[in-house]
Amino acid sequence: MIPFLLFCLCHSVSAQIHYSIYEEMQKGSSIGNLANDLGLNIKEISLRKLRIVSRLSEKYFSINILNGNLNVADRIDRETLCGAAEECFLTFDAVIENPLNVYHVRVDIKDINDNPPRFVKEEIELEISESTLPGVRFVIQNAEDRDKGINSLLKYKLSANKYFELGEKTSTDGRKLPELVLETSLDRETQSYYEFTLTASDGGNPVQTGTTLIKITVIDFNDNFPIFTQEVYKLSISENIPLNSPVLCVNASDKDTGTNAQITYSFSTTSENVLHVFAINKITGQITNKGVVNYEDSKYYDISVQAQDGGGLVTHAKVLLEILDENDNTPEIYVTSITTPISEDSAIGTVVALIEAHDTDSGGNGEVDCQIIGAMPFKLLSTSGNFYKIIIKNPLDREKTSCYNITIKATDKGSPPLSFEKTIRLDISDVNDNLPKFEKSSYTVFVHENNQPGASIYSIQALDRDAEENAKLVYSIISNDTEQLPSYVSINPVSGVIYAQRPFDYEQDKEFQIQVMAKDSGSPSLNSSTVVKIHVIDQNDNSPTILYPSPDAGSTLYEIVPFSSKQGSLVTKVVAVDADSGHNGWLSYYSLQDSDTSFFIIDTYTGEVKTSRTFQERDVSRHRVVVMVKDNGNPPLSSTVTLNIVIADHFQHVLPDLSNQSRKLETQTNIQIYLVIAIALISFLFMLTVILAIISKYRESKSSTSFSSVSAYPPMDPRFLPKFNNGTLPFPYSYDVCVTLDPSERDFAYLKPPHNVPVESLIDADDSGIGNNSLKETVHSVDIVQGHVEVWSRT
Ligand SMILES: *[C@@H]1O[C@H](CO)[C@@H](O)[C@H](O)[C@H]1NC(C)=O
Ligand SMILES: *[C@@H]1O[C@H](CO)[C@@H](O)[C@H](O)[C@H]1NC(C)=O
Ligand SMILES: *[C@@H]1O[C@H](CO)[C@@H](O)[C@H](O)[C@H]1NC(C)=O
Ligand SMILES: *[C@@H]1O[C@H](CO)[C@@H](O)[C@H](O)[C@H]1NC(C)=O
Ligand SMILES: *[C@@H]1O[C@H](CO)[C@@H](O)[C@H](O)[C@H]1NC(C)=O
């Protein structure tokens, strides 16, 4: 700064010299010529020793002895010397000797603008809530300028912004304070921090300025709602995810800070099925499934979630959860209708059952295919929807399979597919489509002759593969030719047991055959027949019959043996036959004479009689040889014959003698027999007469009044009536027939078994089916045989 020299000379009585200078003049700057001002001669001053006497001012001023100028010796700062005082000056005394004189000097110090305005703090920090309304003022620390007057006159200026304006407030002590006036409301979330420069400038020339930095922090106010990242969350999850699986994480943010931004999540729904199945984490917003997610329960969930910040502001969002079906349900099969049992002759294509397959899954997982497992005479026919008809594919045969377990497998089209099997039981009902069948086409039966009448000889069985009535067989004998056959045998219609009706005689019928028919009870009934050949087995019941010599010829037959016959000559041959066959007909011949003494021997096998030795003169000429013919049966039967053998050379020699002798003998024997027979007959007739007389007497005395007249016919036991009808057996029974003899009640008759025995028990157990029938027939036959009703009173 160039010092501004102001010389002011003011002579006063007090001889006070007055200078005025600006502060901050350069050292050595001349303030004024003190010598001149004091009126001193310049040459004198050094001699007179002009000097400054002042404790304070000595430092700032100096006097040049050579020219008498007053110079600035040190930096003069008005603000240091005087501060805020209105006037500022320095005084000193100038002393000169020879003569001593004292002069009073005053130097006024004038202000220059050497101090800038200055703020107390270089930075001012302010916190303003974002909720602060526009117009609110914030007082700021003022700036200070140590200069005086215009140099300290302050003007403030705020850096350009649209939020604040600068205002001014005059404090009670008169200071003017700057203030910030809020122009528009703040939003922390937009800008949470502001910096402005406040400049203070003084009125000097040149203008000095001071600045401070205003830092404004916007304090949060809960003015922001939480915001979800999405208003609607859409997602799909599979059913059957494991429990507590993460489903979705909802996320909300809050632009506020601190607790105002602390978000808690929750469901804002009352829907029970949502609350049962899902849970949400309060802090993280993670939605998990705490229950089973089942597509079949709910295909879709609409979940409302809310986020709440610490200040209580709440936002809602939606979670739309679609459940994807999984193939977790097995198909099911329902039998809608079934026809069981079904007749075995049902036509192919007949509908047996209607079934429905069902799968609760959806889409392919719920599409079901059905098929019949195994080889079955049935097939499935798909009808509308999931319905299937089971129809007959191949003919049914109850005799092969009477019941089918039809297993139907339903498989869905899921991956992996699930399947279900159901077994339907179908019974097949019988149709009479099988003939009764005998085991053989013909049977051969061997029966010993002389069998017991009524004995069973064979049992024949036919099989009918049908069931129940259709298999219930009735046997009967049908025969085609021999009319006598039915009376030979009979058959039990139920059991098929064949009974002999009479003793068979091998010698009469060696074999015969009957035809047996088995007929089932179906409708219409079926029948088949078989042939039973009955072979009668021979028994040794016939004695050998001697043909030669004929037994009828008696003793009149002679064999003549020439006297000269040699030993071993054939005399004769006994010829015999046996009606029996086989062993029973094998005959052997024996002589009953002692073989040692006999003249003849007989061949055991051929029956040839031969001489055993040559004859002597003295030998007896007539011989009787008794020959026994024996068969080989067990026990053996035998016959004997007597051979008359005459040893003679000529037949005439012996013939008269022989014939006379024999006749006499014969006549004698005959007379004896006739006598015996006559005596026996007479005595029998006598006895009979006596007995009849006694009986008739007895009857007369005992006859009751109600049965006034009794028939003379003897009681007739019907069992003795031969009645062999159409293959039925005769059977023993007995009953009383009572008829009143009163003419008015003549037609009344009843049958009563004796001794109260039930009728049934009288019938042979074997032949129960026939008993009643035969009973009637027998009564009927009584009528026929006797010509009228038998009358028989036991009382
Ligand atoms: C929530 O969303 C915000 C931004 O949208 C993101 O920064 C944050 O990571 C998300 N939080 C979660 C847990 O996903
Ligand atoms: C059918 O099943 C039943 C039991 O379920 C069984 O008793 C019967 O023998 C079966 N029938 C066939 C023909 O397999
Ligand atoms: C009758 O029976 C005889 C045997 O006695 C048999 O050969 C014949 O074939 C039968 N005739 C008929 C038509 O059954
Ligand atoms: C046996 O069956 C045949 C047909 O096979 C029928 O003509 C006949 O009348 C039947 N006989 C009886 C006794 O039912
Ligand atoms: C029976 O024998 C006698 C002799 O004794 C004889 O006279 C008679 O003629 C004989 N009679 C016959 C029928 O031969």
Residue 245 has a CB neighbour count (10 Å cut-off) of 12
Q: Which atom of ligand 5 is nearest to the CA of 660?
A: 1
Ligand of minimum distance to the alpha carbon of 517: 4
Classify residue 402 by burial, with Cβ atoms within 10 Å: 0-12, 13-18, 19+: middle
Closest atom of ligand 2 to 404 CA is: 13
Residue 531 · residue 441 · CB < 8 Å? yes
What is the distance between the alpha carbons of residues 774 and 725, in angstroms, rounded to a whole number?
Answer: 9
| pLDDT level of residue 50 (50, 70, 90 thresholds) | confident
Q: How far is the CA of 656 from the centre of ligand 5 (A)?
A: 7
CA distance 77 to 57: 13
Predicted confidence band of residue 485 (pLDDT cuts 50, 70, 90): low
Q: Which of 527, 528, 529 to mutate to test the pocket of ligand 4 (most atoms within 8 A of CB)?
A: 527
pLDDT in tens, 97-152: 888 888 899 999 988 888 889 898 889 999 999 899 999 999 988 888 888 888 88
Ligand 3 proximity of 260 Cβ (cutoff 6 Å): no
* DSSP-based three-state secondary structure for 83: coil
Query: What CA–CA distance (Å, rounded) separates 761 from 734?
Result: 11
Domain at 118-219, CATH from 3.30.1310.10, 3.30.479.30, 2.40.50.100, 2.60.40.60: 2.60.40.60
Question: CB neighbours of 564 closer than 8 A, spacing ≥ 6?
Answer: 615, 649
Q: Kindly report, residue by residue over 518-569, the tens digit of the pLDDT.
A: 999 988 899 999 988 888 888 888 888 888 887 776 556 778 888 888 888 8
Lowest mean pLDDT among 160-169, 207-216, 381-390, 657-666: 657-666
Sign for the pseudo-dihedral over CA of 704, 708, 713, 719: negative
Look at ligand 4, atom 9, and give the residue with the nearest C-alpha: 527
Closest ligand relative to 530 C-alpha: 3
pLDDT (mean) for 448-464: 89
3-state secondary structure of 608: strand
Which of 62, 65, 64, 51 has the alpha carbon at shortest distance from 93?
51
Fold of 437-537: Immunoglobulin-like (2.60.40)
Residue of 442, 444, 478, 481 to test ligand 3 pocket, by largest number of atoms within 8 Å of CB: 481
Work out which ligand 4 atom sits closest to the CA atom of 476: 13
Overall CATH class of domain 545-655: mainly beta
**Which of 405, 406, 424 gets mutated to test ligand 2 (max ligand atoms within 8 A of its CB)?**
405
Pocket flag, ligand 2, residue 400 (CB < 6 Å) = no
Specify whether the CB–CB gap between 564 and 475 falls below 8 A: no
Write out the residue limits of the CATH 2.60.40.60 domain(s) in the chain.
2-110, 118-219, 227-324, 332-425, 437-537, 545-655
pLDDT (tens digit, 9 = 90+) per residue, 145-173?
A: 888 888 888 889 999 989 999 998 888 88
Return the closest-CA partner of residue 568 out of 595, 599, 591.
Answer: 599
Provide the token pair at 52: 């400054």
Instruction: Tell me what pLDDT residue 706 has.
Output: 41
CA distances from 611 to 232, 641, 668, 752 (A): 148, 18, 33, 75
Strand, coil or helix: what is 539? coil
The β-bridge relationship of strands 558-561 and 638-647 is: parallel
**Look-up of token digits 């038998």:** 790
Q: Which ligand is nearest to the CA of 307?
A: 1
Using the mean position of ligand 4's atoms as its centre, give its distance from the Cα of residue 774 in Å.
26
Which ligand has the shortest distance to the CA of 480? 3
Which residue's CA is the closest to the ligand 4 atom numbered 11? 527
Please, which residues bridge with residue 139 across strands? 179
Distance CA 33, CA 48 (A): 16
Give dist(CA 1, CA 29) in Å, integer. 11
Q: Specify the pLDDT at position 28.
A: 87
Q: Give the closest ligand to the alpha carbon of residue 652.
A: 5
| 713 vs 187, more confident | 187
Give Cβ neighbours of residue 76 (< 8 Å, ≥ 6 apart): 21, 23, 24, 25, 60, 90, 109
pLDDT digits (tens, 9 = 90+) for 378-437: 999 998 888 999 999 999 998 888 899 999 999 999 888 999 999 999 999 989 988 899
Phi-psi region at 363: left, alpha or beta (left = phi > 0; alpha = psi -120 to 50): left
On average, the pLDDT of the chain sits at 81
pLDDT tens string 226-242: 999 999 999 999 988 99
Lowest mean pLDDT among 263-277, 582-596, 660-674: 660-674
In 10 A of CB 176, how many CB atoms? 12
- For residue 419, the model assigns a pLDDT of 92
Mean pLDDT of 599-609: 87
> pLDDT tens across 686-738, in order?
999 999 999 999 887 765 444 444 344 444 444 443 433 444 333 333 333 33
Q: 444-453: per-residue pLDDT in tens?
A: 999 888 888 8
pLDDT for the residue 611? 86
Percentage of the chain with pLDDT > 90?
Answer: 31
- Residue-wise pLDDT for 304-314, tens only, equals 999 999 989 99
Which-ligand-closest: CA of 531? 3
Look at residues 236, 197, 229, 232 and name the one whose alpha carbon lies nearest to residue 119: 197
Residues 6+ apart with CB under 8 A from 544: 576, 577, 578, 587, 629, 630, 631, 637, 638, 639
More confidently predicted of 597 and 448: 448
What's the whole-number mean pLDDT along residues 360-376? 89
pLDDT (0 to 100) of residue 136: 93
Q: Which two tokens stand for residue 245?
A: 């699986």
Q: What is the pLDDT of residue 769?
A: 38
pLDDT in the model for residue 656: 55
The pLDDT assigned to 662 comes to: 57
Distance from residue 655's CA to the centre of ligand 5 (Å) = 11
663-669: long-range contacts at Cβ-Cβ below 8 A with a sequence spacing of 24 or more?
665/555, 666/554, 666/555
Is 502 a residue whose pLDDT tops 90?
no
Is the CB of 249 within 6 Å of ligand 1?
A: yes
Classify domain 227-324 at the CATH class level. mainly beta
CB 172 within 8 Å of CB 204 = no
Q: What is the mean pLDDT of residues 43-51?
A: 85
Binned at pLDDT 50, 70 and 90, residue 776 comes out as very low
CA of 481 to the centre of ligand 3 (A): 7
- What is the distance between the alpha carbons of residues 245 and 292, in angstroms, rounded to a whole number? 10
Residue in the block written with tokens 């498989």: 411
Report the residue among 479, 480, 489 best suited for mutation to probe ligand 3: largest number of ligand atoms under 8 A from its CB. Answer: 480
Using CA positions, which residue lies closest to atom 2 of ligand 1?
Answer: 251
Residue 333 has what pLDDT? 93
Given this model, what pLDDT does residue 643 score?
Answer: 83
How far apart are the CA of 251 and the centre of ligand 1, in A? 6
Instruction: State the architecture of 2-110 in CATH terms.
Output: Sandwich (2.60)
Ligand number nearest to the C-alpha of 376: 2
Whether 113 is in the pocket of ligand 3, judged by its Cβ within 6 Å, is no
Nearest atom, ligand 3, residue 481 CA: 1
* Strand pairing category for 61-63 and 101-110: unpaired
| 229 in contact with ligand 1, CB cutoff 6 A | yes
Q: Does domain 332-425 have CATH number 2.60.40.60?
A: yes
User: Looking at residue 243, what is its pLDDT?
Assistant: 93
The residue whose CA has the least distance to atom 1 of ligand 1 is 251
Check whether 65 has a pLDDT greater than 70.
Answer: yes
484 band by pLDDT with thresholds 50, 70 and 90: low
Backbone angles phi, psi at 462, to 5 degrees: -115, 155
Q: Averaged over 364-369, what is the pLDDT?
A: 88
- Mean pLDDT over residues 331-352, rounded? 92
Separation of 401 CA from ligand 3 center, angstroms? 38
Q: CB within 8 A of 85, min separation 6: which ones?
A: none
Give me the residue label for tokens 């000095």.
208
% of the chain residues with pLDDT over 70: 82
Instruction: Tell me how far the alpha carbon of residue 105 lies from the centroid of ligand 1, in angstroms.
Output: 84
Judge whether 750 and 738 are in contact, CB under 8 Å.
yes
**Mean pLDDT for the stretch of residues 564-592:** 86
Question: What pLDDT shows up at residue 745?
Answer: 43
pLDDT at 5 over 50: no
The yes-or-no verdict on residue 770 having pLDDT over 50 is no
442 C-alpha to center of ligand 4: Å? 19
